[in-house]
Amino acid sequence: MNLNRSQHPEYKNIEDINIPSPKKIFLDNGIETHVVNAGTQDIVKIDITFNAGSWHQEKALIATTVNEMLTEGTINLTSQQISEKLDFFGAFINAQPTKDFGNLSLYTLKKHLSETIKILEDIIKNPVFAENELQTFLSKRKQKFQIELEKVTNIARQEFNEQLFGKNHPYGIKTKIEDYDKVNKSDIVQFHDLYYNSENCKIILSGKIDNSVIELVNNHFGNNDWGNKNKIASINESNIGQSVMESFIEKKNVTQSAIRLGKIIINKNHPDFHKLNVVNTILGGYFGSRLMKTIREERGYTYGIGSALVSLKREGFFVILSEVGADVSQNAITDILDEIRKLREKKVDIDELNLVKNYMLGDLLRSFDGPFEISSSYKSIIELGIESDFYHKALQSIKTITPDEIILIANKYLQEDTLIRTIAGKYN
Amino acid sequence: MIKFDKFTLNNGLKIIVHKDPSTTLVAFNILYNVGARDEDPEKTGFAHLFEHLMFEGSVHIPSYDKPLQMAGGENNAFTTNDITNYYITLPKENIESAFWLESDRMLGLDFSKEKLEIQKNVVIEEFNQRYLNQPYGDSSLLLRPLAYKVHPYQWATIGKNIKHIQNATLTDVKDFFFHHYAPNNAILSISGNVKTDEIKTLSEKWFGSIDKKEIAIRNIPKEPKQKTARTQTVKRDVPFDAIYKAFHMSSKLEKEYYTTDLISDLLANGKSSRLYQNLVKDKKMFSDINAYITGDIDEGLFIITGKLMKSIKMEDAEKAINSELDKIIEGKIEDYEIEKVKNKFESLFEFGQLSALNKAMDLAYNELLGDANKINLEVENYGSVTKKEIQDVATKLFNTNNSSTLYYLSKKSK
């Protein structure tokens, strides 16, 4: 057989992607619930997301502490009993506090759902935040925080956010070690009362979801017994402070410096987002990106570099991040800026664009491959309240974007002199 | 139950096919039977460095990533002390692209001095990022040589000395390829909505003509039984003291392996586990504590790591750990507790089956251990462990003379 190994065997461009649409239903008390029924295993995941992120807190650490301490005891179960039961059923409850939301996810075998959902209900509706549990939690967290702050990447992240949004903005404010000593039980209880109620959440169900599952969820979360007793607190309105363009935080004896470049930018709500996302992918959004090619593969400055568009509820930002050899921070930044300049000035080669398009289409396929992938893809837009044709629009933009549009978008959003810079480690 | 078909090409390449009709993608996983344990003690870190070079182009294909991305695929790889594993997910229609790319790099690489130099730099930065520039990052680099005096598990996959990477030559790298990368030293596993016949045809077409090679028989020295407890103390620029304890355990192929794994679950899997409840929650001695097994094929390690709360003395912290280990030795374990860790294993196993890639990796790895079907016996193997076995294994395992302890002290503490 004569095999031509130099020739890429025939392959198909991905033309159509079957974008699954979760079914939207409402529980009896009106909670918006999205249902993703997919997958081969008898498994259920319940995501509940509350508008209860650190944006809403008046004091540092309150939102995350409430979210993460829900599993530490209720009026019915001690902290230990909760973990014993969950472990016995092989189930997991993960808390994931973000700047905008307090999230809880229950992963369970379907055969144990009727038991595990009771625990989920109890920890959301009846947590006690016992004083001793609170103190253990905080002192542990304080130590972990101190360890995290030894890492240049974390130093740079905190500094970068402050530079972007300002010292007093809820997205920019830094956590300090002393903050751990100032958390009171009353702050915690009050925050929970205000934000963890049926009028302030959305639910996503994924896995083997049939009517019996929906009925169970409705029985435990669809009643009117956990509405908002108080009027919802006024949402913080904050003005973004003046951006600080350049910042350097020295850390001695490092082998690498963490660098970040970026700016406040449109988020997923904006019609240009999908096109900007293609531009971002070309620059630093995948393994073969220009930044990876230059900074890692040509220069050998780093193990990895990437760029991302982050959509928060009220703002969005663009960030390039890497950890580079301690003596090449400035060289790396120069090369990064040069890559952005090229993106603005020079038309992208059609081969490269096709490659990125195909990669992104493959990635879209991957993001719908399995029940949990589908639910997490949708969670990110459901919580932002974005309409459900988001992924159809993404698909359309990827397929149709042209080299001219890329230059246009890059020039509109990514001027090098608008990017703020952060270095943690050594300056050179 | 994960069903699969299995066949072997004339050149010795083993192929496993699992049909999963629920996915539009296909997972393509190729495992090479070579890891850091196969390295020359003077040239460590090679298996991993080599993994990087596998992405730098092969004899007929100048770029590995580009055509794969054109076909909508994504890939990565990892190196352990035992194996080097490469994997791809891509749309099912484009599966032939994966055969084309993987067979060409099995055939030969497009080695060059420049590519080697760049990847050496990248690996050195990886070493910096993961081990040197992280608080407590070098602990695993210290613990291994304390526990192993003879066996190559004494070095981590990154290598025992970064100089070994810096000094690597093109000849070294070519040698490594020649001795370890061959069809008869690899296992290919594929899962997705595929038919075995179709995979057979493609395998013959792309891999069939690659010659088998003489693979040297592994001659790894066995670690002699440890006779006395070993300790090492280091002072580092970290905020809090930490302790790392390692005990020699069985190989992956013995029944004891399952028992030992369950002991680590009793101690540290989940928030209801003993170490967390007793030492973190109750006694408040640690901010963080963990117990796990390294999962190696040869005799591995059972490791306990903990970060001490600020006011706690190392001596007391260690005593507290030891007394938890004594309780297991003394058999102070409820049947309920054993049932709990078994349930948890079963549940995690079920979650793992959601992913076609996960299944492909598990099948290849179990085939390496002797039979891909072992994966289907896992739940039963864990399920059959008895309290008596737990007690017996713990008695042997947690013998002080079998322990290596690293005291990792903060310069700030007195």
Model pLDDT, residue A1: 58
Show which of residues 171-200 on chain B sit within 8 Å of chain A, judged by CB atoms.
Answer: none
Distances (CA, A) of A171 to A138, A308, A321, B352: 22, 17, 18, 36
Q: Tell me the shortest Cα–Cα distance from A275 to chain B, in angstroms.
A: 19
A376 contacts in B (CB within 8 Å)?
none
A144 contacts in B (CB within 8 Å)?
287-288
Of B97, B118, B307, the CB nearest to A11: B97
The radius of gyration computed from the CA coordinates of chain A, to the nearest angstrom, equals: 24
Show which of residues 79-138 on chain B sit within 8 Å of chain A, judged by CB atoms.
Answer: 89-91, 93-94, 96-97, 99-100, 103-104, 107, 117-122, 125-126, 128-130, 132-136
Q: Tell me the shortest Cα–Cα distance from A400 to chain B, in angstroms.
A: 16
CB contact under 8 A, A8 and B97: yes
CA A281 to chain centre: 17
B-interface mutation test, from A143, A286, A298, most B Cβ less than 10 A away: A143
Distances (CA, A) of A78 to A71, A130, A167, B28: 9, 10, 39, 46
Task: Name the packing angle between helices A79-88 and A113-125 (round to 10°).
Answer: 160
Residue A164 has pLDDT above 80, yes or no: yes
Cα separation, B77 vs B74, whole angstroms:
11
Residue A238 has pLDDT above 90, yes or no: no
- Band (A232; pLDDT cuts 50, 70, 90): low
**Is the Cβ–Cβ distance between A302 and A324 less than 8 Å?**
yes
Distances (CA, A) of B132 to B126, B140, B261, B342: 9, 11, 29, 37
- Band (B76; pLDDT cuts 50, 70, 90): very high
Handedness of CA B150, B151, B152, B157 (dihedral sign): negative
Residue A234 has pLDDT above 60, yes or no: no
Instruction: Give the list of residues 6+ apart from residue A109 with CB closer than 8 angstroms, or none.
Output: A42, A43, A44, A89, A90, A91, B347, B350
CA-CA-CA-CA dihedral for A253, A256, A261, A267, to nearest 10: -110
Mean pLDDT of A353-375: 94
Q: Tell me the shortest Cα–Cα distance from A28 to chain B, in angstroms.
A: 31
Mean pLDDT of B166-177: 94
**Mind listing the pLDDT tens digit for each residue in B6-55?**
999 999 999 999 999 989 999 999 999 999 999 999 999 999 999 999 99
Model pLDDT, residue A235: 58
CB contact under 8 A, A8 and B209: no
Q: What are phi and psi of B103, to 5 degrees?
A: -70, -35
Q: What is chain A's mean pLDDT, rounded?
A: 95
Q: Strand ranges (DSSP E) for B345-411?
A: 403-410
Cα separation, B374 vs B372, whole angstroms:
5
Mean pLDDT of A127-144: 97
B62 contacts in A (CB within 8 Å)?
none
B408 contacts in A (CB within 8 Å)?
none
**Is the Cβ–Cβ distance between A138 and A188 less than 8 Å?**
no
Of A3, A107, A362, the CB nearest to B72: A362
- The domains found in chain B, sorted by start residue, are 5-207 (3.30.830.10), 230-410 (3.30.830.10)
Q: Say if B280 is an interface residue toward chain A (CB within 8 Å).
A: yes
A325 contacts in B (CB within 8 Å)?
125, 128
Q: What are phi and psi of B323, to 5 degrees?
A: -70, -30
Cα separation, A409 vs A275, whole angstroms:
7
Mean pLDDT of A338-365: 96
Q: Are strands A420-425 and A246-250 parallel, antiparallel or unpaired?
A: parallel
Residue B414 has pLDDT above 60, yes or no: no
Mean pLDDT of A45-60: 96
Residue A233 has pLDDT above 70, yes or no: no
Q: Say if B410 is an interface residue toward chain A (CB within 8 Å).
A: no
For residue B182, count other CB atoms closer than 10 A to its CB: 23
CB contact under 8 A, B125 and A324: yes
A362 contacts in B (CB within 8 Å)?
69, 71-74, 90-91
Residue B290 has pLDDT above 80, yes or no: yes
Please report, as a single letter, which amino acid is at residue B133.
Answer: N
Please report, as a single letter, which amino acid is at residue A171.
Answer: Y
Model pLDDT, residue A241: 79
Mean pLDDT of B340-345: 96
Total CB pairs under 8 A between chain A and B: 211
**Is the Cβ–Cβ distance between A145 and A414 less than 8 Å?**
no
Cα separation, B224 vs B228, whole angstroms:
12
Percent with pLDDT over 70 in chain A: 98
Task: List the structure tokens of B387.
Answer: 């309290």
Residue A57 has pLDDT above 80, yes or no: yes
Model pLDDT, residue A173: 94
Cα separation, A187 vs B88, whole angstroms:
49
Mean pLDDT of A209-226: 96
**Is the Cβ–Cβ distance between B212 and B40 less than 8 Å?**
no
Q: Tell me the shortest Cα–Cα distance from B109 to chain A, in angstroms.
A: 13
**Mind listing the pLDDT tens digit for each residue in B175-205?**
999 999 999 999 999 999 999 999 999 999 9
Instruction: Give the list of residues 6+ apart from residue A370 with CB closer than 8 angstroms, or none.
Output: A38, A39, B22, B23, B354, B355
- The domains found in chain A, sorted by start residue, are 23-221 (3.30.830.10), 246-425 (3.30.830.10)
Task: List the structure tokens of B161.
Answer: 């000395």
**Is the Cβ–Cβ distance between B347 and B339 less than 8 Å?**
no
Which range, of A9-18, A299-308, A317-326, B33-42, averages the lowest pLDDT?
A9-18
Cα separation, B263 vs A336, whole angstroms:
49
Residue A132 has pLDDT above 60, yes or no: yes
Model pLDDT, residue A18: 87
Mean pLDDT of B67-76: 95
According to DSSP, residue A294 is labeled I
B287 contacts in A (CB within 8 Å)?
139-140, 143-144
A83 contacts in B (CB within 8 Å)?
270-272, 277
CB contact under 8 A, B72 and A88: no
B89 contacts in A (CB within 8 Å)?
366, 369
Model pLDDT, residue A237: 66
